[in-house]
Chain A
């Protein structure tokens, strides 16, 4: 009796969440897979009867599309250069804030974290002017040390580095906080014992900090990879994917194909390729996470 009533209550509590996730997440995922095998254009948008199955054509078209390869290369460039750079800055600042001599730690931590909570679109706008070739702060600062000027967003070679710099500035505080939490979990006695045994600073870092921080580093690397593969708003606001498609990302291409040109089947195929790419770090996490969780 009690069991039945309790199962019914559980069902009622779960129902809204499961219905929302089933209807507006699971169903669209399946529909997207179907869509990726269809020719679904603006006529189909008006009347779904105009859509037709085309097999794997969207996928083969994508693989033959130089723009797709360009977007993939750009996204990987952003990931491979920006990811490690941002993790290095996060770890560096986290280590600095752990030094015992440092005062006003909370104040520094808050200042470094402030960019994380800002609205990406708004700060991308700010950075667009910071990068201005003639009036921008960055070129002015560079000119003071005899460098530049660089046409940051107008030069195909510099546009992606400029976007990486913005992303690192915007994101490093987030991973820094997680690194700090990881560092605080390392028992202080280990360092004391190492000091007594005559280990120097560097030895302590390589023998204690790095191995014991490994689970945190794995976690951070993976969430950073997943996030960086979804690059969109920065190029949308700052460069619209230009110059010469130098900052066109996979999600930006997906958005333009799907919602500007209404090539929805093509765009859905692109979404699934993105999903496949994101699956790689996620599977890595499942595997590495399991090992790392037992220190």
Chain B
């Protein structure tokens, strides 16, 4: 009875897993199929023969290396800048007493109900006046600071004992020195979690780069893929190769760091 139940249960779980993974596996498989095989009936799951020609033409004919660089550079830049900016602010909110701290923090938190879409039109006009439309700066600017990031770091930094900071002060360490040599190392777990969330969020972001990047050479991978699909909609295998290159870096990153990512998610979800 118990074994039967276990077998049925696992069969169901495997079915759900199949549904979750089939589109991704088919994407990989179709990306190495010879031309036209993905558009046959009945649909084929396994390539007749494996070819990497679609990957080759993405990099030679279609400038994919450039999009890959844009995506990687922007994701790294936004992650680095925002970790620095958010960690300083989060630390200040956690460990400094100053007038208006409580109300200011509440004000920041309540601003989270405003969706980013509201800011996009004026932000575009502002950046246009500043001359940074179609530049990396234009994508980095709205990602520099995030209330969510400040909140996460503040929660974590509050658990640092005051005595530790006092001791460093007595030893003659200045404010910045304490932040850099004591607080940042202690905050490493939350910085890693936040860094992963920020990196993946920027990598996968679509609407803002679509608005800011007007020139083909500045496209990020998602914008480039969406754009390519307009001309190459019949080229299923080529499009799948492009999708694999877009998805693979974040999936691999997730596989490597999933402990931090899922752990952070579970902790964050509970605290809200």
A291 to B42, CA, bound (A): 55
A259 in the interface (beta carbon within 8 A): yes
Q: A181-B266, A268-B121, A279-B113 known; A169 and B226 CB under 8 Å?
A: no
Q: Mark out the residues of chain A between 230 and 274 whose CB falls within 8 Å of any chain B CB in the assembled complex.
A: 230, 232-233, 236-237, 251, 254-255, 258-259, 264, 267-268, 271-272, 274
The interface residues of chain B lying within 8 Å CB-to-CB of A232 are 206-207
| Chain A residues with a Cβ closer than 8 Å to the other chain, count | 92
B162 in the interface (beta carbon within 8 A): no
Report yes or no: A35 in contact with B121, Cβ–Cβ below 8 A.
yes
- Which residue of A is nearest B266, CB measured? A181
Report yes or no: B265 in contact with A178, Cβ–Cβ below 8 A.
yes
The interface residues of chain B lying within 8 Å CB-to-CB of A174 are 265
Residue among A12, A108, A125, A259 making CB contact with B225, cutoff 8 Å: A125
A11 to B239, CA, bound (A): 50
Q: How far is the CB of B183 from chain A (nearest CB, A)?
A: 10
Q: How large is the interface on B (under 10, 10 to 19, 20 to 34, 35 or more residues)?
A: 35 or more
B200 in the interface (beta carbon within 8 A): yes
Q: How far is the CB of A185 from chain B (nearest CB, A)?
A: 7
Residue among B6, B10, B118, B211 making CB contact with A275, cutoff 8 Å: B118
Q: How far is the CB of B212 from chain A (nearest CB, A)?
A: 10
Report yes or no: A135 in contact with B272, Cβ–Cβ below 8 A.
no
The interface residues of chain A lying within 8 Å CB-to-CB of B96 are 6-7, 9-10, 13
Q: How far is the CB of B20 from chain A (nearest CB, A)?
A: 5
A18 to B150, CA, bound (A): 11
Residue among A9, A17, A99, A112 making CB contact with B86, cutoff 8 Å: A17
Q: A6-B96, A16-B85, A126-B27 known; A274 and B117 CB under 8 Å?
A: yes
Main secondary structure of the interface of A (DSSP, over half): helix
B250 in the interface (beta carbon within 8 A): yes
Report yes or no: A236 in contact with B226, Cβ–Cβ below 8 A.
yes
- Which residue of B is nearest A283, CB measured? B113
A35 to B141, CA, bound (A): 21
Report yes or no: B204 in contact with A169, Cβ–Cβ below 8 A.
no
Report yes or no: B206 in contact with A121, Cβ–Cβ below 8 A.
yes
The interface residues of chain B lying within 8 Å CB-to-CB of A278 are 113, 115
B62 in the interface (beta carbon within 8 A): no
Q: A96-B9, A134-B41, A275-B118 known; A111 and B269 CB under 8 Å?
A: no
- Which residue of B is nearest A25, CB measured? B119
B77 in the interface (beta carbon within 8 A): no
A290 in the interface (beta carbon within 8 A): no
Report yes or no: A13 in contact with B92, Cβ–Cβ below 8 A.
yes
Report yes or no: A123 in contact with B119, Cβ–Cβ below 8 A.
no
A154 in the interface (beta carbon within 8 A): no
Q: How far is the CB of B135 from chain A (nearest CB, A)?
A: 15
The interface residues of chain A lying within 8 Å CB-to-CB of B121 are 28, 32, 35, 258, 264, 267-268, 271
- Which residue of A is nearest B13, CB measured? A108
Q: Mark out the residues of chain A between 96 and 141 whose CB falls within 8 Å of any chain B CB in the assembled complex.
A: 96-97, 99, 101-103, 108-115, 117-123, 125-130, 132, 134-137, 140
Q: A17-B88, A129-B236 known; A111 and B23 CB under 8 Å?
A: no
A219 in the interface (beta carbon within 8 A): yes
Q: A21-B147, A271-B118 known; A11 and B126 CB under 8 Å?
A: no
Q: Which residues of B contact A (CB under 8 A)?
A: 2, 5-6, 9-10, 12-13, 16-17, 19-24, 26-27, 30, 38-43, 84-86, 88-89, 91-93, 96-99, 108, 111, 113-115, 117-126, 128, 141-142, 144-145, 147, 150, 175-176, 179, 200, 203-204, 206-207, 211, 221-223, 225-226, 229, 236, 239-240, 242-243, 246-247, 250-251, 253-255, 258, 261-262, 265-267, 269-270, 272
A-B contact pairs, 16 of them (CB 8 A): A9-B92, A14-B92, A17-B145, A20-B141, A48-B125, A112-B16, A117-B253, A117-B261, A122-B243, A125-B229, A178-B265, A181-B270, A226-B115, A230-B115, A233-B207, A279-B113
